Amino acid sequence: MNFTVPQIAKMIDHSILRPEFTLEDVREGCAVARKYDVASVCVRPCDVPVAAELLRGTRVAVGTVIGFPHGDSPTEVKVAETELAVHQGATEIDMVLNIGWLRSGDIAAVEHEIGQVVKAAGAAHVKVILETAYLTDEQKLAACWASERAGAAFVKTSTGFAPKGATIDDLALMRSAVSPKVQVKASGGVRSLDTMMAMAAVGVTRFGTSSTTEILQDLARRQVAVSAGRA
């Protein structure tokens, strides 16, 4: 295994999104993110100010979700959510595209909305959540193409709240659909190191997971075992 623990950590968006989480849960999640120096935390919109304060001075970015989890908020609301999140300290924006518009074939409306969120985000990176569980392969491709044309930094599989999360086939399809300047994020069901490694092999560079501690501890144990075997 060629990845180090710090390298894998910088591929993780530590997810703190469950609706029942308390403020103490959010603080504990941010502590995990700080301990392992992950790429970012992904918190509920109401938790952005707390996370921004807790992670100030670290290399951990603060991300949040927009139009979550159904993607059906009016564009104006998604734009307002984005502007507020950035103002409060978010530097990564994970937006759910309008799934109904996409399934209806109104790609122009989907692309326009993504572009409006990208504009509102300014320097913050926008990750577009497709919610692949509800889409055909043709719709997934159309969403990826629209996301790139609209200026998104990432395309992302799932919210984690649909019937199915990230799959290798979907990730490979998404990676093939966008140019190298657009990254691919896996989310939904990323709970083990082996899953991460299989997804990284098809070009995934960012992972949304709440299993950060388990994944990184597993990698550390394996590396110790390998080192011991060489001694």
- CB-based contacts of 84: which residues, under 8 Å, 6+ apart? 45
Look up 185 and say whether it is catalytic: yes
Q: What is the DSSP string of 184-212?
A: EEEESS--SHHHHHHHHTTT--EEEES-H
Question: Of residues 94, 127, 140, 170, which has the active-site annotation?
Answer: 94
CB 94 within 8 A of CB 42: yes
Joined together, the tokens standing for residue 195 give 């899953």
- Cα torsion at 155, 159, 164, 166 (round to 10°)? 40
Ramachandran angles phi, psi of 198, nearest 5°: -65, -40
**Best CA proximity match to 195, nearest among 182, 177, 213, 207:** 207
Helix (H) or strand (E) holding 155: strand 154-156
| Length of the chain (residues) | 231
Helices vs strands, H then E, count in the chain = 10, 8
Q: Residue 197 and residue 219: Cα distance in Å, rounded?
A: 11
Catalytic residues: 94, 156, 185
